[in-house]
Amino acid sequence: MRAGETAGAAFVTGASAGTGREIALALAAAGHDVAVLGRRVDALEELAVEIAAMGRRALVLGADVREADQLEAALDRLLDWSDGRIEVVVNAAGTTGPLSPPIGQYSLADFDSTVATNLRAPFIVMSRLLPVMRGAGRGRIVNIGGNHGMRGRAGRSSYSASKWGLRGLTRSAALEAGPDGVTVNYIAPGPIAIPRMKANWKAQAEAGGISEDEALRAYVANMGIPLGKPSEAEDIVAMVMYLVGPGGRNITGQELVIDGGATVL
Ligand SMILES: NC(=O)c1ccc[n+]([C@@H]2O[C@H](COP(=O)([O-])OP(=O)(O)OC[C@H]3O[C@@H](n4cnc5c(N)ncnc54)[C@H](OP(=O)(O)O)[C@@H]3O)[C@@H](O)[C@H]2O)c1
């Protein structure tokens, strides 16, 4: 790619923090102009400055993905900004929802909110952008699920169900869009050492009167991770970049589990 040329427009939801933020930066580093979406506009503005410093265009889209009107309005702005061409879509916005109530104590409002974030939002995004990508005869979509979408887990009903549903959406979209040259894949991370998770581990250490190393070891043992450590955001980023790069051109409808071996099916 020559100086000043772009690898095309990319769109990342959940880019204000954690893994989505790192994915947006990696896409910019690979030459994409990047549109970034989340609710925290200040954090997105800071990210946009970093993207611009790499010589790429950035578009900040403030929206709550649970609100269809807000998401649709953001997608309108995205398509205006990109002249109706989108090369890469990464649905990374996600929430765990409440982490421990069993079914029976889990509120319908919490269930709906988790499903709206993790499953309905990627559907809205793909409803709008897949026809555009299929019309162009190319494009890559990566949905960030979770290894709880590969298995059940007590206390994670809405999270597991929403991430499991996203697998079905991914596979169906892959079958529909494949003949038009668009790939759609699913990445299933286990725990990722992003700032939110590190804060959790620190709180667990303080609550238990143990060191942060001990708290992390206990967490890893509890999660049954054979490789003995959580993933880093860069592990997920590397898979996204593979799927959207030359290596991913003939991969679609797949679920790539990155969890240190916690889920071996
Ligand atoms: N971290 C892990 O251990 C782990 C494990 C498995 C799967 N995952 C998945 O990986 C993806 C990234 O998570 P993360 O943990 O790296 O990041 P994170 O720090 O939890 O950040 C979540 C991102 O999603 C956005 N988001 C959440 N709800 C939203 C809403 N209603 N509207 C718009 N944006 C929303 C947040 O933006 P705003 O707050 O600005 O709205 C933020 O940018 C998620 O899909 C998550 O489920 C994470």
Report the C-alpha gap between 116 and 81 in whole angstroms: 26
Q: pLDDT 10s digit of each residue in the chain, 265 long?
A: 666 688 899 999 999 999 999 999 999 999 999 999 999 999 999 999 999 999 999 999 999 999 999 999 999 999 999 999 999 999 999 999 998 899 999 999 999 999 999 999 999 999 999 999 999 999 999 999 999 999 999 999 999 999 999 999 999 999 999 999 999 999 999 999 999 999 999 999 999 999 999 999 999 999 999 999 999 999 999 999 999 999 999 999 999 999 999 999 7
Question: Strand order in 139-144's β-sheet?
Answer: 58-62, 33-38, 9-13, 88-91, 139-144, 182-189, 255-258
C-alpha 5 to ligand 1 mean position (Å) = 31
Substitution site in 39, 44, 169 for ligand 1 pocket (most atoms within 8 Å of beta carbon): 39
- Give the pair of three-digit tokens for residue 235: 């592990």
Atom number, ligand 1, closest to the C-alpha of residue 17: 43
Substitution site in 194, 225, 239 for ligand 1 pocket (most atoms within 8 Å of beta carbon): 194
Residue that the structure tokens 């609100």 belong to: 67
Choice among 159, 186, 198, 242 that is catalytic: 159
C-alpha 94 to ligand 1 mean position (Å) = 4
Choice among 106, 163, 186, 202 that is catalytic: 163
For residue 197, the model assigns a pLDDT of 93
C-alpha 109 to ligand 1 mean position (Å) = 19
Which residue CA neighbors atom 1 of ligand 1 most closely? 192
Q: How far is CA 193 from CA 136, 190, 200, 259, in A?
A: 37, 10, 10, 11
Cβ–Cβ < 8 Å for 27, 88: yes
Atom number, ligand 1, closest to the C-alpha of residue 64: 32
For residue 99, the model assigns a pLDDT of 85
186 is catalytic: no
Q: Among 3, 132, 133, 129, which Cα is nearest to 56's?
A: 3
CB under 6 Å to ligand 1: residues?
14-20, 38-40, 64-66, 92-95, 117, 144, 146, 189, 191-192, 194, 196-197
C-alpha 10 to ligand 1 mean position (Å) = 18
Atom number, ligand 1, closest to the C-alpha of residue 96: 47
For residue 2, the model assigns a pLDDT of 63
For the chain, count helices (H), then strands (E): 9, 7
C-alpha 3 to ligand 1 mean position (Å) = 33
Three-class SS state of 104: coil
Report the C-alpha gap between 258 and 157 in whole angstroms: 21
